[in-house]
Amino acid sequence: MKTTLFGRVRLGYVIVESSRLAEWKHFAADGLGLHIDEVSADTLALRVDDRTRRLVVQRGPAEDVVALGWELDDDAALHLALARVRDSGVSAQLHRGDEAAARGVSEYWSFTGPKRTSVELFTTPVMTERPLRMKASGFLTGVGGLGHVAISTREPESMKGFWERIFDARVSDYIEDRLSGVDLDLTFLRLNERHHSVAIVSTRGIRLNPLRTSIHHMNLQVASLDDVVDGYRRCRELGYPIANAIGQHPNDRELSFYVETPSGFEMEIGWNPIVVTEEAERHWRQATYRGISLWGHYPENLTLGVSARRFGRGLLSLTRGEFTVGAKP
Ligand SMILES: [Fe+2]
């Protein structure tokens, strides 16, 4: 019996709670170029492949990502993950029926993860043969799953430990940078051949978290360079705030841009990140890079107001604890 979950788990879906469904619809379809199914007045189901939904926007007050759905290969992998959740002193609940349908899965288990984001586990997505109607030419998912999420945290050791303990995450590499006078550490964790499914962002020294939202950004991988360029141009022309113009990261070599979603976190649309195949894994070296970008990624919309708000939130975060999921003592 296999005792590792590495390679047997991938990001499956993301649930957003927002009161701005009309904005999300326009943004996702006309800006990002995704397929949209408006399934009810309170739910948008966004597709990028043969799953009925990958990103779900549900009406609600959080204006944030509220759940991350992780797909396990089979029941053996699911039960191993659930045993580890239990060993962390956390209880998971099984959901079927409407709640599962809302996520495009047959059933799922949920528990409260780091920063109180719901972590959800499933094995069986609902597929569809209905053709995609979208502006992008295509998105890459497959064994690497749905892109990645970057999570800012004041508890980076605990956060890293969580993904290592539950899913056997491996560190791909690290990046150090200095933005607006603050030293940042980034750790990139892979759960399968995707260079990273989770990135952890923290400040060095005094641990601040200037973000209101639970994630800094989520990433979707598009099929072609033209998809990045066209997506960037569409978002710009439609007036969506471009957080970072097109550029390239030094570690996964992905070419991407970042745009602010109607809920405030950012969406990274990227192309051609390196894949850590089994062969590449044999020679893998955990490098530490200086600087988040090799070139580009220039901030286009970072106004003084945004900087001041983030600085204020960063200071405020010092007064609040961050919810962590620890190992059982
Ligand atoms: Fe990213």
Q: Tell me what pLDDT residue 329 has.
A: 47
- Looking at the predicted structure, is the pLDDT value of residue 219 above 70? yes
Bridge partners (DSSP) of residue 287 are none
Determine the distance separating the centroid of ligand 1 and the alpha carbon of 191, expressed in angstroms: 15
Position 39 confidence tier, pLDDT thresholds 50, 70, 90: confident
pLDDT-based confidence at residue 315 (cuts at 50, 70, 90): low
Query: What pLDDT does 276 receive?
Result: 97
Instruction: Kindly indicate the confidence band of residue 319, based on its pLDDT and cuts at 50, 70 and 90.
Output: low
CATH 3.10.180.10 fits 9-122, yes or no: yes
**Domain spans, the chain:** 9-122, 142-317
Kindly report, residue by residue over 114-142, the tens digit of the pLDDT: 999 999 999 999 999 999 999 999 999 99
b/e code 90-102 from CB counts within 10 Å (16+ = b): bebeebeeeebbb
Centre of ligand 1 to C-alpha 174, Å, is 13
Please determine whether the domains at 9-122 and 142-317 fall in the same fold group of CATH: yes
Taking only the tens place, the pLDDT of each residue in 79-126 is: 999 999 999 999 999 999 999 999 999 999 999 999 999 999 999 999
Mean pLDDT of the chain: 93
Q: What is the 3-state secondary structure (H, E, C) of the chain?
A: CCCCCCCCEEEEEEEEEECCHHHHHHHHHHHHCCEEEEEECCEEEEECCCECCCEEEEECCCCEEEEEEEEECCHHHHHHHHHHHHHCCCCCEEECHHHHHHHCECCEEEEECHHHCEEEEECCECECCCCCCCCCCCECCHHHCCCEEEEECCCHHHHHHHHHHHHCCEEEEEEEEEECCEEEEEEEEECCCECCCEEEEEECCCCCCCCCCCCCEEEEEECCHHHHHHHHHHHHHCCCCEEEEEEECCCCCCEEEEEECCCCCEEEEEECCCECCHHHHHCCCCCEEECCCCEECCCCCCCHHHHHHHHHHHHHHCCCCCCCCCCCC
The confidence score (pLDDT) of residue 300 equals 86
171 pLDDT higher than 80: yes
Q: Return the CATH fold of 142-317.
A: 2,3-Dihydroxybiphenyl 1,2-Dioxygenase; domain 1 (3.10.180)
d(CA 87, ligand 1 centre) in Å: 30
Residues by chain with Cβ below 5 Å of ion ligand 1:
219, 268
Please tell me the distance between residue 150's alpha carbon and the centre of ligand 1 in angstroms. 6
Looking at the predicted structure, is the pLDDT value of residue 68 above 90?
yes
The answer on pLDDT for 314 being more than 60 is yes
CA of 98 to the centre of ligand 1 (A): 32
pLDDT for residue 49: 97
pLDDT of residue 321: 81
pLDDT of residue 312: 62
Stretch among 75-84, 98-107, 190-199, 312-321 having the lowest mean pLDDT? 312-321
Ligand 1 center to residue 220 CA distance, Å?
A: 9
Q: Which tens digit of pLDDT belongs to each residue from 228-244?
A: 999 999 999 999 999 99
CA of 135 to the centre of ligand 1 (A): 22
